Amino acid sequence: MLALIRPDAWNLPLFLHVLGATVLFGTVGVVAVAGFAIRRSTNHQLLLARVAQRTYMLGVIPAYILMRVGAQWIDSKEFPNGNEPGWVGVGFLVSDAGAILLIIVGILLAVRRQRILLAVPLLTGLYVIALGVAWVSMSGKP
């Protein structure tokens, strides 16, 4: 029952963190699916590349910032002395390594060369799996 008790001051940062993480999951999924579809489609490659770019700029980046700021905010409240358990470390590992991965995806989308774009669905697909590992770790707190 102790796990259920949470001070009211933690609610807003937790809400922003979870909302950002869920939107990040969905929008990274769009970039991954658009990337896979580019490999199959012959008539709509330009449209799919635009879907991936716009979703990245208007969805993935804002959602990542919301998730990461919310994470830091609630971490500062829940663990003010820095003695974080392992499940918090998994979350930070996925988010910080994910930032590097997302920067690479952004560069690939900006370059827009056909062969280079092929890496986008693989990298974003990998990140979707990593986000799954993070939410299992965050919610289960093993």
Residues that bind another protein (CB under 8 A): 1, 3-4, 8, 11, 14-15, 18-19, 21-23, 25-27, 29-30, 33-34, 37, 41, 43-44, 47-48, 50-51, 54-55, 59, 63, 131-132, 135-136, 138-142
Residue 45 vs 123, nearer CB to another protein: 45
Residue 23 vs 118, nearer CB to another protein: 23
Residue 43 CB, shortest distance to another protein, in Å, is 7
Residue 33 CB, shortest distance to another protein, in Å, is 6
Query: Which has the closest alpha carbon to 132: 28, 43, 56?
Result: 28
Is the separation of the CB atoms in 68 and 121 below 8 Å?
Answer: no
Residue 28 vs 82, nearer CB to another protein: 28
Residue 131 CB, shortest distance to another protein, in Å, is 8
Residue 37 vs 93, nearer CB to another protein: 37
Written as one letter, the residue type at 65 is I
Residue 47 CB, shortest distance to another protein, in Å, is 6
Count of other CB atoms within 10 angstroms of residue 71: 24
Count of other CB atoms within 10 angstroms of residue 61: 15
The dihedral sign for the CA sequence 6, 12, 15, 17: negative
Helix spans in 56-85 (H) = 61-78
Residue 8 vs 115, nearer CB to another protein: 8
Residue 20 CB, shortest distance to another protein, in Å, is 10
Paired tokens of 94: 């996925």
Cα-based angle 61, 58, 47 (whole degrees, multiple of 5) = 120
